[in-house]
Amino acid sequence: MTKHTSNLKAEKIVGGVHASPRHDSAHKHVTGTAVYIDDIVEPFGTLHAGLGLANVAHGTIRSMDLSAVRAAPGVVDVLTASDIPGVNEISPSGMNDDPVLADGKVEFHGQPIFCVIAETREQARRAARLAKIEYEELPAVIDIWDVDVETHRQVTTPLTLKRGDAAAALASAPRRVKGRMRLGGQDHFYLEGQVSLAIPGEDEDVLVYCSTQGPSETQHMVAHALGVPSHSVAIEVRRMGGGFGGKETQANQCAALAAIAAKKLKRAVKLRLDRDEDMLATGKRHDFAIDYDVGFDEEGRILGVDYTFALRAGFSADLSGPVGDRALFHCDNAYFFPHVHAKSAPLYTNTVSNTAFRGFGGPQGMVGAERVIDEVAFAVGKDPLEIRKLNFYDAMGVDGERNITPYHQKVEDCIIQRIVAELEESADYAGRRKAIAEFNAGSPVVKRGLALTPVKFGISFTKTESNQAGALVHVYTDGSVHMNHGGTEMGQGLHLKVAQVVAEEFQIDLDRVKITATTTAKVPNTSPTAASSGADLNGMAAQDAARQIKDRLIDFAAETHQIPRDQVVFLPNRVRVGNEEIAFNELVRQAYMNRIQLSAAGFYKTPKIHWDRAKGRGHAFYYYAYGAACSEVSVDTLTGEYVVERTDILHDTGRSLNRAIDIGQVEGGFIQGMGWLTTEELWWDDKGRLRTHAPSTYKIPLASDRPKIFNVALTNWSEAYEPTIHRSKAVGEPPLPLGLAVLHALSDAVASVADHRICPRLDAPATPERVLMAVERLKAQVAK
């Protein structure tokens, strides 16, 4: 041991929490050395699978001739529903309505009916096109816009939220507006499509490398399809090339088919969808038809609202129930509604079953809230920002009554007033509002618009049992640390943040912590990496595991040196034991020599949350994340084309674990939300065929679509109201609805052609065509 003094203020570990080390795979991403599922070296004899897809939207299968498929070059086998050894079912809802392969009936165009196994991927895909299938077509429901919400079939039980007496409040309100809004869906368009590589083992065992956000759910679904216990199936994923919710449940089908084929043929099998197949056969963000009825006073204070959120669920339940629930949870956004009634309607359609997408229904609910704000603002002739601020929840620390949500949870941490006030000043909202009015007055064709919109996003799974996580931490005798947890890495930096937490706990440099692949063989019963809870849950679980080992080391050092426990202090890369210091790795070595356990399994469950769906009340969220965006656009009123001139964002991440990672999440979330609300349009024809199924027909935002001026900042004063991991806040989903600022800036620009006297009621996505139609509609109304 060496004796010396330490300067704790001047010395820190490299890469602990509240620092900004680079993403652990950043250099691998840009050099192409990051290993994704399709990069794994294939075992000798690996076979490849291709899907046979339905070419009708709804019908029964009268006959299916696969002889030409089986005789095609390279084909080894063809799987149909009858070849599934276990249960032909991958429904995450438990409603038994989502088959691995269609059996006798198809319910959407593009539904997988059979699976070809061949020597090469090309051979499998070519062979799949040779099938001769005859259908008896049945009537198909494609869109929900003209559907009777009250009588149409729903795929699962809807939710109703109510507080107060909305009907009476609406009837007695001095002012009242009703309307309807169409809100489009969105394809995940992850860089890496759905892919699984299954390797058969002895007995019933199978290892599946799968691009999945929910390894445990995929494990259980594969086990059900194989008819084996879950312990026989191991799912592993080191990283995904994007997920955005699209790999929470949708990865299960490819994994199950690859595993079934691998076990049947006793050879490794890979199934990788190409972009067209992926877009045709996998679910998307739900599109909505939002009906609203709002009552308010002459000042613009909302007195009561009534909402119906009808969503296109698709042919099966999937996650449409909880997505609709979360839309209702966020139909208030940052606003207090004294009286509210809101209901969901997850409607059956003969389209692919829609699923989780970043925000999980929350952004759709917020769109409804912001449309109501716009309606009120135009009705009373005020700036929408003024109406927003007038209707905010009470600020944190204010002893008021305007702080109860439609689901009866008290909002105790509201900081939206401060965030909006700071952004309003830093973005010079008032000055630019005046300048834009002067510009528009002198510009007959190009009109500018400005909007500042808030975000209040609830953090937790509304499925209570999902709010838990496990982790496994090993400390080796050389002082290096192996970390594993149940979360998955899809580019968002989760593994890095959890590694930072472990490094901070042991006070060792980040490069001493090994980040490993997520696998169900190490950490069981994991929750999907979703609901923005990855770092919250897994960071806490890893911290618990590290603290168990740390406590053992402290006990060992205290006992060995006959000193109180509080005289054992972890310093950067060493430990002070009384008046002496010892290197961390030396203490670990000594502990091992004295048979001290250097491995621990950690666990965490989110406290306080509870939810009674039948009653529509509870403490659904552990805390809220807040943010605001201010966007300015220029619109050509002759063509509808537009550009985003500038966006300023101030977002709340609490005491950020990694500000660089979080800023990247805010930037990406905003751009993805902007894309959803402006350019990304899903379009099915009247036969149920998705016509926007490739980059040539589906427009995600390009680098050139980003705001010309893009200022993003995180609050430097906020911290989580609850004791989250190091008082940080979730950042995965909350930034996406910041894109609402662009939609409402476009609405503001369109409204200028009618001197802001008429609410444009601009639907989304606000494509140039839709913007032009809104302009022409307002011009016609003014002319009358």
- The 3-state secondary structure of 423-436 reads HHHHCCHHHHHHHH
Residues 443 and 475 in one domain: no
Report the run of H or E that residue 400 belongs to, with start and end: none
For residue 472, tell me if it sits in a domain: yes
Residues 653 and 713 in one domain: yes
CB atoms within 10 A of CB 396: 17
Q: What is the CATH number of the domain that holds 548?
A: 3.30.365.10
Q: What integer pLDDT is reported at residue 399 of this predicted model?
A: 82
Q: What integer pLDDT is reported at residue 343 of this predicted model?
A: 98
For residue 542, tell me if it sits in a domain: yes
For residue 71, tell me if it sits in a domain: no
Residues 411 and 560 in one domain: no
Residues 460 and 410 in one domain: yes
Q: Name the CA dihedral angle for 552, 557, 563, 565, rounded to a multiple of 10 degrees.
A: -30
Q: Number of structural domains, the chain?
A: 2
Residues 679 and 777 in one domain: yes
For residue 611, tell me if it sits in a domain: no
Tell me the residue range of the domain where 672 lies: 398-464+618-783
Residues 450 and 477 in one domain: no
Q: What integer pLDDT is reported at residue 361 of this predicted model?
A: 98
Residues 583 and 675 in one domain: no
Among residues 605, 638, 673, the one where a domain terminates is 605
Beta strands in 516-664 (DSSP E): 518-519, 568-571, 574-577, 580-583, 599-605, 610-612, 617-619, 623-636, 642-651
Collect all residues with Cβ–Cβ distance below 8 Å to 731 and sequence separation of at least 6: 532, 625, 651, 653, 656, 662, 665, 666, 669
Largest CA distance in the chain: 92
Below-50 pLDDT ranges, the chain: 1-9
Please give the Cα distance from 730 to 536 (Å, whole number): 7
What's the one-letter identity of residue 487? G
Asked if 32 and 108 touch (Cβ cutoff 8 Å), the reply is no
Please give the Cα distance from 544 to 505 (Å, whole number): 10
Q: How far from the centroid of its chain's Cα atoms is residue 235's Cα?
A: 21
Please give the Cα distance from 185 to 171 (Å, whole number): 33
CB atoms within 10 A of CB 638: 11
Collect all residues with Cβ–Cβ distance below 8 Å to 21 and sequence separation of at least 6: 14, 15, 496, 500, 510, 658, 660
Q: What integer pLDDT is reported at residue 353 of this predicted model?
A: 98
Helix (H, G, I), strand (E, B) or coil at 371: helix
Among residues 576, 605, 634, the one where a domain terminates is 605
Please give the Cα distance from 84 to 225 (Å, whole number): 6
Tokens 């038994």 sit at which residue? Answer: 96
Characterise 693 by phi-psi region: left (phi > 0), alpha (psi -120 to 50), beta (else).
Answer: alpha
Residues 416 and 500 in one domain: no
Please give the Cα distance from 474 to 484 (Å, whole number): 9
Tokens 């959803």 sit at which residue? Answer: 676
For residue 599, tell me if it sits in a domain: yes
Strand pairing report for 599-605 and 481-485 = unpaired
The pair of three-digit structure tokens given for residue 364, joined into one six-digit string: 């759709």
Please give the Cα distance from 499 to 587 (Å, whole number): 21
Report the run of H or E that residue 418 belongs to, with start and end: helix 416-426
Q: Which of 247, 211, 236 is nearest to 319 (CA)?
A: 247
- Residues labelled catalytic: 733
Residues 510 and 556 in one domain: yes
Buried b vs exposed e over 700-712: b needs ≥16 C-beta within 10 Å? Answer: ebeeeeebeeeeb
For residue 494, tell me if it sits in a domain: yes
What's the one-letter identity of residue 756? H
Question: Among positive and negative, which fits the CA dihedral 230, 233, 238, 241?
Answer: negative
Q: What integer pLDDT is reported at residue 4 of this predicted model?
A: 36
Q: What integer pLDDT is reported at residue 9 of this predicted model?
A: 47
Among residues 571, 605, 639, the one where a domain terminates is 605
For residue 419, tell me if it sits in a domain: yes
Residues 675 and 714 in one domain: yes
For residue 540, tell me if it sits in a domain: yes
Q: Which of 448, 432, 436, 446 is nearest to 648 (CA)?
A: 432
What backbone phi and psi angles, to 5 degrees, belong to 312?
Answer: -75, 105
Please give the Cα distance from 458 to 455 (Å, whole number): 10
Collect all residues with Cβ–Cβ distance below 8 Å to 370 and sequence separation of at least 6: 333, 453, 740, 743, 744
Q: What integer pLDDT is reported at residue 11 of this predicted model?
A: 81
Please give the Cα distance from 199 to 429 (Å, whole number): 58
Q: What integer pLDDT is reported at residue 10 of this predicted model?
A: 56
Residues 598 and 626 in one domain: no
Residues 477 and 622 in one domain: no
